[in-house]
Homo-oligomer: A and B are copies of this chain.
Amino acid sequence: MTEVRAKRLQLEEFTASVMRALGLPLEDAATVAALMVDADMQGSDGHGVIRLAPYAKRILAGGINLNPDIKVIQERTAMALVDGDNGMGHLVMKKATELAIHKARTAGIAWVGSRLSNHAGPASLYARMALQHDMIGLYFAVGNANHLPPWGGLDMLLSTNPIAAAIPTLNEAPVVLDMATTVAAYGKVKAKAQRGEMMPEGWMIDRQGKPLLDPTKSEEGFLLPIGGYKGYGLSLIVGILAGTLNGAAMGSQVIDFNKDFSTTTNTGQAIAIMDPSAFGDITEFKQNIDTLVRELRSSERMPGVDRIWLPGEQSHEKRLSNEAQGILLAPSLMKQLNDLAAQLNIKPLTVQIQT
């Protein structure tokens, strides 16, 4: 079988050239490209370059401010509120995270929220930025499409509102959790539909509350929250912290970014950074996490279970293998990227082909 793989740098350069062609300034195009490809590197491929086409569609529809004035509009010692001025979400949340890291260094913990932001890729991208500073990152976001009603309800007023957490380690892979508060993310439903597969019970229900298994009928039902009413509560709290608190969209204000490409989404996100060295010796902390990781991994296993995984371990391995072998690009994605290149009149992506 023919496999098409792109090296990280190559994919970054292509992505940046698309962003420049769409009108982003040079530096911003490079920043967005690096973060988008970083999503692919860790296997979050639903949030990587697969989003180039919908981002382009939004930019061309006038739905994104290409020269935003991203600025702090509220600030205290350990918090800030960033107004993204409807710029690309990656630019807004990178700036917010850098500010939170800076503040956490003296305050011990810092929280930075955003309003007038946009989709910024996988939640773990920003939580992980803490790791190179030996800090802990927590990230919360309001999802960009509502697919979840309140528990017992039919009106889709909530989204998959994700949570991410990144914990530094000494020798082990960092512990990185990145999860939607629904059993399945909506992207997984769309992937099932594309592959012509049925969904497992527990992902979605229909308007009578019965299991919905056919992903092509997903518009007739809703995602299920994790743990039933608990996940509903969790999605609501994440939405309040990342949305309402920041003056960003929440509930019926959320714009479905798959259907409406021109209205300002007023997306809200939040990053919290904690400095473990404020609590005690940093090396001891990282050693203790290593010990905990090994203890969990060494647990006796259920019949048929080959290995116990820690959160983030699989994406860490994916990152290493992608670094070595390049990022696998499906033929449909290659076509999508090069159709976009042709439309924008830029050089196509030429990649290594392995057989």
Contacts and interface: CB of A to CB of B under 8 A. Distances in A.
Interface string A245-287: 1110011100000000000000000001011101110000100
Interface stretch (A4-12, A19-27, A75-83, A321-329): A75-83
A167 B237 contact: yes
Contacts of A153: 296, 299-302, 305, 308
A123 interface: no
Given A74-B278, A110-B78, A157 B295 contact: yes
A62 interface: no
B233 A302 contact: no
A250 B292 contact: yes
A54 interface: no
A151 B74 contact: no
Interface in A190-237: 207-209, 226-227, 229-234, 236-237
Interface stretch (A42-50, A101-109, A330-338): A101-109
A125 interface: no
Interface residues of A, number: 80
Contacts of A234: 163, 177, 179
A149 interface: yes
Nearest to A113: B279
A59 interface: no
Interface string A32-64: 000000000000000000000000000000000
Given A79-B107, A167-B240, A226-B226, A274 B245 contact: yes
B299 A157 contact: yes
Nearest to A180: B230
Contacts of A107: 76-79, 107
B179 A230 contact: yes
Interface in A110-150: 110-111, 113, 136, 149-150
A154 B155 CA distance: 40
A251 B77 CA distance: 34
A111 B138 CA distance: 13
* A interface majority secondary structure: mixed
B237 A177 contact: yes
B150 A245 contact: no
A179 B227 contact: yes
A18 interface: no
Contacts of A241: 136, 165, 274
A198 to B, nearest CB: 19
A67 interface: no
For the complex of A and B, 7 pairs with smallest distance between CB atoms: A226-B227, A76-B108, A79-B108, A153-B299, A78-B78, A78-B107, A155-B299
23 contacts: A74-B278, A75-B108, A76-B107, A76-B108, A77-B107, A81-B278, A108-B111, A113-B279, A150-B297, A150-B299, A152-B307, A153-B296, A175-B237, A177-B233, A177-B234, A179-B227, A226-B226, A229-B309, A232-B311, A236-B311, A241-B274, A244-B285, A251-B291
Interface of A: 74-79, 81, 106-111, 113, 136, 149-155, 157-158, 163, 165, 167, 175, 177, 179, 183, 207-209, 226-227, 229-234, 236-237, 240-241, 244-247, 250-252, 272, 274-276, 278-280, 285, 288-289, 291-292, 295-297, 299-305, 307-311
